[in-house]
């Protein structure tokens, strides 16, 4: 087979200038995107410019547009908001303002723009691009630029990245900042639940979302809220009585608290706003419960970005630079999006038009529902959402009411743990479905020929902080562990990471020490080295610590920290709570379907490959994969998949740490198209 790999060494940014700006509302992770654009741009030989204060800085020019250096983006990865500033700009909405902006860019040779913002910011960028040639003609006619300058800068290329905590942009599963905002919400909810339980209180939480209820809906799933109100799904008339009945039932079952989450843009079916205070007054009036209101407001925009947002923004920033390098005069403005676990490029205006059409015709399309289990949605009475217990177990019990499953005993964790689900099929008690760890599940499948009791549907859900299960890009627990690591140590860029999958020797260690020493002699006087516990038998943590300490004398000091089981502790992240909920619900749907499919003559007999599966996230979708087929993809000796997608991030880490390396861009996002499906 011909080698189809394409490497970044063959893509040059020499002679190109890239401007990067943040516009609209700020979102955690924007700085990580800016940093990735700057460092990737410089790495390929381009000049990169900060455009401070968004479009206002582009219009005003002067010191608002400054060339960025490698060091100028140091120590911004962990900072929330946007350090280059953002501002609403009325001037850019006028033709005269865009003419001034074009002049400022041409004077600096900038014909490539990375715009990080919401749909309004990206729409403005596309209009700017469409008017570009006409603006240059006007500048030539007024004598502000030469004909030669107009020809040299004849095409403006635009690549967008969506920064919005609301997750309100069509075409991407997650926007930069959404995961961090969910962290802030869940932190508040978890804290409130303790005081609510102590005093038998009801809490009404108002979260952001004037037009999009994603934060409200997903945080409700993640915390086990009793009720949620979102703008996309106005409740039916009489919802007040229904909600109060639900809260009363919860108290009668022994619950000492109630949580109601309200999106700030929630309305009833007549367009009347439903405020958090109105909900509180309703509960007090009808039930007499001690009820308090908490309005989170801009707390949701604050704080450090989560591990997910740092990685997402970094991947998108690198992808944006690649898109600009590959752009031609006929290439439409694109937006870098996330589909499942894969970066894709979509025509910017197709996404905007789809969003506008959705808002005007089918408001429910405005919410990216990737994190919401369909089964939970099916359990919503009418247009309301009612969620009872916690995360995955809650999903299983909810699905149980609508499937053949009658009993459920659940034990969660990584390694060899089991979830046994007894079921009754047409009043026959002999069927049993199992959710089991991978190696144990293979043993059960192998034993089917000897024990008919194992001829039942089996499904495994990947749950391990190591993220080392074959057949899935992501495992429950890995995101929580990453956040624990980030919160404890990763306040700076990693300079070296030693892992089992990439063998290293003393020459590599020497090179890393030299690289860090040279870095410390610049204005960046901080460093971080990470070591996997099993990366080498001889190059231990103590050895590496002593090596860096000795070689860094007179230049830097070293400290050592072994995180250990801190990575396994703490409350689960919002991503893990909702990922667990989603795949558990999907697994129960699958089991219910298989129980019916394999029911024959009074009992269940499932002996085919597709009746024992792992449910995993692979690139763009959740897929059920027979564990027998995954056997060849697994290195059982070292308990890892033979191919691990995240190793493709390794070169990116090195590039952003200023190492020269080879990076395969064959799998980078390609321009695709989206279609708005009609809903009857």
Handedness of CA 534, 538, 542, 543 (dihedral sign): negative
pLDDT (tens digit per residue) in 617-641? 998 889 999 999 999 999 988 888 9
- Say whether both 104 and 154 belong to one domain: yes
Task: Identify the residue whose tokens are 């992240």.
Answer: 573
Same domain, 283 and 324: no
pLDDT digits (tens, 9 = 90+) for 210-261: 889 999 999 999 998 999 999 999 999 999 999 999 999 999 999 999 999 9
The dihedrals phi and psi of 534, each to the nearest 5 degrees, come to: -115, 25
Task: Mark whether 194 and 167 lie in a shared domain.
Answer: no
pLDDT higher than threshold 60 for residue 24:
yes
Give CA separation, 527 vs 6, 358, 519, 557, 559, in Å: 31, 47, 8, 10, 11
Beta bridge partners of 531: 498
Tell me the Cα Rg of the chain.
Answer: 27
Residue in the structure block whose two tokens are 């591990």: 307
Model confidence at 558: pLDDT above 50? yes
- Statement to judge: residues 562 and 584 lie in one domain: no
Is residue 164 located within the same domain as residue 186? no
State the SS3 of 6-65.
Answer: CEHHHCCCCCCEEEEEECCCCCCCHHHHHHHHHHHHHHCCCEEEEECCHHHHHHHCHHHE
Mean pLDDT of 445-459: 91
pLDDT in tens, 283-307: 999 999 999 999 999 999 989 999 9
H or E, element range at 558: none
Q: Are 66 and 48 in contact (CB under 8 A)?
A: no
How many distinct structural domains can be found in the chain?
4
Confidence category of residue 386, pLDDT binned at 50, 70, 90: very low
Q: What are phi and psi of 148, to 5 degrees?
A: -60, -40
- Same domain for 133 and 193, yes or no, is no
C-alpha 34/C-alpha 66 separation (Å) is 14
Strand partners, 612: 458
Indicate whether 200 and 297 sit together in one domain: yes
Coil vs helix vs strand at 431: coil
Positions annotated as catalytic residues are: 166
Beta strands 612-618 and 458-460, pairing class: parallel
- Shared domain for 58 and 103, answered yes or no, is yes
In a domain, 4, yes or no: no
pLDDT at 625: 96
Please check whether residue 665 lies inside any domain of the structure.
Answer: no
Residues 52, 118 share a domain: yes
CATH number, position 225: 3.40.50.460
Question: What pLDDT is attached to residue 355?
Answer: 80
71: nearest Cα among 661, 662, 658: 658
428 pLDDT more than 70: no
Task: Tell me the two tokens of residue 277.
Answer: 């205070």
Does the pLDDT value for residue 662 go beyond 80? yes
pLDDT in tens, 595-605: 999 998 888 99
Query: Can you read off the two tokens belonging to residue 82?
Result: 């946007």
* 95 in Cβ contact with 87 (< 8 Å): no
- Find which of 106-110, 171-175, 385-389, 517-521 is predicted with most confidence, using mean pLDDT: 106-110
Asked whether residue 254 is assigned to any structural domain, the reply reads: yes
Asked whether residue 95 falls in the same domain as residue 126, the answer is yes
Angle (deg, nearest 10), helices 95-107 and 119-141: 70
- For 28-86, the pLDDT digits (tens) are 999 999 999 999 999 999 999 999 999 999 999 999 999 999 999 998 988 999 999 99
pLDDT in tens, 176-196: 999 999 999 999 999 998 888
DSSP one-letter string for 67-134 = E--SGGGTT-TT--S-TT-----SGGGSHHHHHHHHHHHHHTT--EEEEEE-HHHHHHHHHHHHHHHH
Residue-range definition of the domain harbouring residue 146: 11-175+305-361
Q: Which of 539, 568, 597 is the last residue of a domain?
A: 568
Q: Considering the chain, what is the average pLDDT of its residues? A: 85
Q: Are both 324 and 283 inside the same structural domain?
A: no
Q: 47 forms bridges with which residues in the sheet? A: 17
In a domain, 535, yes or no: yes
Does residue 521 form part of some domain?
A: yes
Domain boundary among 538, 568, 598: 568
Specify whether the CB–CB gap between 635 and 641 falls below 8 A: yes
Crossing angle (nearest 10°) for helices 119-141 and 348-361: 130
pLDDT at 137: 97
Judge whether 80 lies within some domain.
yes
Quick check: is 670 in a domain?
Answer: no
pLDDT band of residue 543 (cuts 50, 70, 90) is very high
| 466-to-183, 474, 565, 639 alpha-carbon distances in Å | 21, 10, 12, 10
| Structure token digits, residue 19 | 């401007």
- What CATH number does residue 329 fall under? 3.40.50.450
Residues 437 and 493 in one domain: no
Give, in order, the Cα–Cα distances in Å from 307 to each of 13, 68, 77, 485, 665.
29, 25, 10, 9, 23
Residue 491: pLDDT band by 50, 70, 90 thresholds? Answer: low
* 509 part of a folded domain: yes
The pLDDT-based confidence of 354 (bands split at 50, 70, 90) is: confident
């Amino acid at each position: 087979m011909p080698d189809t790999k394409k490497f970044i060494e063959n893509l040059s940014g020499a002679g190109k200038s890239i401007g990067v700006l943040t516009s609209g509302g700020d979102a955690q992770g924007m700085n990580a995107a800016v940093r990735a654009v700057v460092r990737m741009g410089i790495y390929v030989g381009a000049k990169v410019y900060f455009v401070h204060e968004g479009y206002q800085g582009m219009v005003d020019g002067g010191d608002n547009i400054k060339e960025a250096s490698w060091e100028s983006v140091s120590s911004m990865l962990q900072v929330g908001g946007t350090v280059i500033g953002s501002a609403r700009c009325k001037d850019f909405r006028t033709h005269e303002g865009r003419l001034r902006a074009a002049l400022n860019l041409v004077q600096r040779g900038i014909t490539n723009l990375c715009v990080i913002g919401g749909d309004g910011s990206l729409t403005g960028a596309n209009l700017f691009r469409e008017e570009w040639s006409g603006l240059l003609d006007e500048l030539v006619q007024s004598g502000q630029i030469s004909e030669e300058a107009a020809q040299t800068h004849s095409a403006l290329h635009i690549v967008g990245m969506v920064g919005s905590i609301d997750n309100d942009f069509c075409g991407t599963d997650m926007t930069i900042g959404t995961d961090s905002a969910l962290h802030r919400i869940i932190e508040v909810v978890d804290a409130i639940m303790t005081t609510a339980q102590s005093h038998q209180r009801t809490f009404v939480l108002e979260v952001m979302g004037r037009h999009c209820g994603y934060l409200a809906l997903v945080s409700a799933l993640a915390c086990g809220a009793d009720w949620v109100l979102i703008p996309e799904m106005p409740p039916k008339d009489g919802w007040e009585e229904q909600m109060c009945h639900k809260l009363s039932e919860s108290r009668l079952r022994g619950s000492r608290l109630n949580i109601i989450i309200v999106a700030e843009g929630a309305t009833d079916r007549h367009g009347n706003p439903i405020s958090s205070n109105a909900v509180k007054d309703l509960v007090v009036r009808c039930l007499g419960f001690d009820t308090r209101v908490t309005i989170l407001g801009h707390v949701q925009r604050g704080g450090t970005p989560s591990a997910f947002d740092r990685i997402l923004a970094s991947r998108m920033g690198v992808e944006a630079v690649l898109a600009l390098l590959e752009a031609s005069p006929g290439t439409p403005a694109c937006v870098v999006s996330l589909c499942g676990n894969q970066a894709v490029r979509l025509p910017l205006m197709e996404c905007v038009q789809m969003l506008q059409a959705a808002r005007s015709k089918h408001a429910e399309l405005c919410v990216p529902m990737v994190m919401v289990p369909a089964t939970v949605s099916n359990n919503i009475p009418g247009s309301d959402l009612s969620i009872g217990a916690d995360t995955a177990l809650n999903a299983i019990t909810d699905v149980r009411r609508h499937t053949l499953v009658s009993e459920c005993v659940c034990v969660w964790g990584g390694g060899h743990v089991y979830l046994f689900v007894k079921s009754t099929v047409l009043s026959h008690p002999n069927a049993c479905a199992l959710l089991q760890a991978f190696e144990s599940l293979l043993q059960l499948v192998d034993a089917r020929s000897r024990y008919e009791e194992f001829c039942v549907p089996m499904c495994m859900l990947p749950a391990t902080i190591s993220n080392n299960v074959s057949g899935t890009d992501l495992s429950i627990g890995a995101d929580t562990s990453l956040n624990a690591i980030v919160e404890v140590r990763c306040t700076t860029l990693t300079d070296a990471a030693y892992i089992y999958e990439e063998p290293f020797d003393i020459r590599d260690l020497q090179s890393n020490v030299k690289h860090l020493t040279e870095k410390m002699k610049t204005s960046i006087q901080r460093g971080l080295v990470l070591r996997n516990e099993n990366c080498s038998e001889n190059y231990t943590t103590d050895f590496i610590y002593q090596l860096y300490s000795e070689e860094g004398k007179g230049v830097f000091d070293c400290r050592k920290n072994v995180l250990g089981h801190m990575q396994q502790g703490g409350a689960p992240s919002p991503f893990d709570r909702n990922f667990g909920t989603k795949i558990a619900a999907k697994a129960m749907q699958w089991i219910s379907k298989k129980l019916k499919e394999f029911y024959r003559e009074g009992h269940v007999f499932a002996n085919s490959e597709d009746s024992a599966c792992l449910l995993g996230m692979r690139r763009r979708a959740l897929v059920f994969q027979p564990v027998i087929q995954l056997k060849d993809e697994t290195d059982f000796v070292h308990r890892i998949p033979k191919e691990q997608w995240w190793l493709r991030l390794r070169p990116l880490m090195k590039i952003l740490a200023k190492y020269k390396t080879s990076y395969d861009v064959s799998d980078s996002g390609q321009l695709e198209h989206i279609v708005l499906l009609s809903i009857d």
